[in-house]
Amino acid sequence: MAFPTINGVITTTTITTDTMSHAVNLPASIAVGELLLVQFGCSYTPIITPPAGWTILAQGGYPNVSHNVILWRIADGTEGATITIGTNQSNKSASHAMRIGGHDGLGPRAGAVQASYQGILPDPPACNAALADDNLWFVFNAAYYSFIPTVYPAGYVNNQGYIYAPGSGAYPITSAMASRNLNAVTDDPGTFTWNSTSYHSAVCVVVGPAFVGQTIAMTAAVETETVPDPTIEKTVLMMAAREHELVTQPAGFRFTGPLVYAYFETAGIKETELTPTIQIWHEDGTLLVDGEPMWNMREGWYVYNFTEFDDRENYYIRADGGDTLADVDRWKVETTGHLGDQRRARKWLTNAQRLADGSVGNFEMWDDGLDPDVDPATETQDVTDKSGAPIVIPDQAPARRSEAT
């Protein structure tokens, strides 16, 4: 793998006149598939309204003094020269914006916030990238007034800099940043040193590299995740349609349309030398992909490029880790799909796992997805105990499906 790269120049914007509508400059020459990352520092601690198509990764602030927000988007070619970030208080802002290439297509892997600190040593929290890859790490700090950083967190020697939005009225604000390349699962950046006591919000962000063998730009059109592991209590998950949203921490199966990922382990030990294959069925039971190999991504992860994917259809997907694994570890089974203009989520799965109530066994689950915004822990599920039954793909979908209202 190779580290993600910041393409072109990091653009900066300072808004020195108090406003509730902040026009933030984007970099020039944005290319489809690039990760766009914006750090927005502002005075007070307002409610933030992101522009359409942008996601807030992390935010925090020193109450009523300074605020720090990280936003991101996968470029699709429709971006203009600026975005407008709304605040419910009239204030000043200082922002950085950049475009990143060579990333994994999933957006930033993590963002962690030190929400409130007064002093000269703001400390961005440790950040977890989930995989020990060639990751790109950032630290950002937003602080009250014209004070400046004199020392950046150890190892963060790239792209060091700060900008200042002065003026009367709302508090002035300073935003600082730096980055580093580091192959690690986690990093605890250490502290900035500022030249005077101020009110801070410090953030750590990590971006993962493109996967080996990836041939197309990944999108976040549809993503699901389930955890076929009997040690995990929460396994009934919601699929997020048209937005990138993972709803659990441990990962066993992911679908990002058109890439399918499977993670294999035995008794907590990563299986790194398997040769998994994958089968994919249409909803009517017609076999579409029969035993194609998956690429080894390292660290127990394997990926398949599902080039035939059509987001108007629903699919059954089964990854087979091979007969060297016990059945409980061998199969990763999932469905994808969203129904109608309401993009309703639905799900069918069967594997050995533990339900939220502690029951253990092989279960068949059907999530009608009547309300995609409901937390999956409280969403109504149809669950049938299949304990001891073989793990199989049915010939056709369950009879019941959600209907658009």
**Which pLDDT belongs to residue 43?**
93
CA dist list (Å): 391 to 12, 108, 111, 291, 387? 54, 34, 37, 17, 10
Query: How far is Cα 368 from Cα 379, in angstroms, rounded to an integer?
Result: 9
**Which pLDDT belongs to residue 370?**
41
**Which pLDDT belongs to residue 243?**
24
Which is nearest to 262 in space by CA: 251, 250, 246?
A: 251
Q: Do 304 and 294 meet the contact criterion of CB atoms below 8 Å apart?
A: yes
**Which pLDDT belongs to residue 87?**
96
**Which pLDDT belongs to residue 130?**
75
**Which pLDDT belongs to residue 401?**
30
**Which pLDDT belongs to residue 261?**
77
- Note the pTM of the prediction, 2 decimals: 0.57
* SS3 at position 330: helix
Q: Are strands 315-320 and 331-336 parallel, antiparallel or unpaired?
A: antiparallel
Q: Phi and psi for 327 in degrees, rounded to 5?
A: -55, -35
Place of tokens 């389930």: 226
**Which pLDDT belongs to residue 264?**
84
pLDDT digit string (tens) for the chain, length 405 residues: 689 999 999 999 999 999 999 999 999 999 988 999 999 999 999 999 999 999 999 999 999 999 999 999 999 889 999 999 999 999 999 999 999 999 888 789 888 898 789 999 999 999 988 777 899 999 999 999 889 999 999 999 999 999 999 988 889 999 999 999 999 989 999 999 999 999 999 999 999 888 643 322 222 222 233 333 322 222 222 222 222 222 222 344 555 556 777 888 888 788 888 989 988 877 666 788 888 888 877 677 788 878 777 766 777 777 888 889 887 778 776 666 532 222 223 333 434 344 444 444 444 444 444 444 444 444 444 444 444 443 343 333 333 333 322
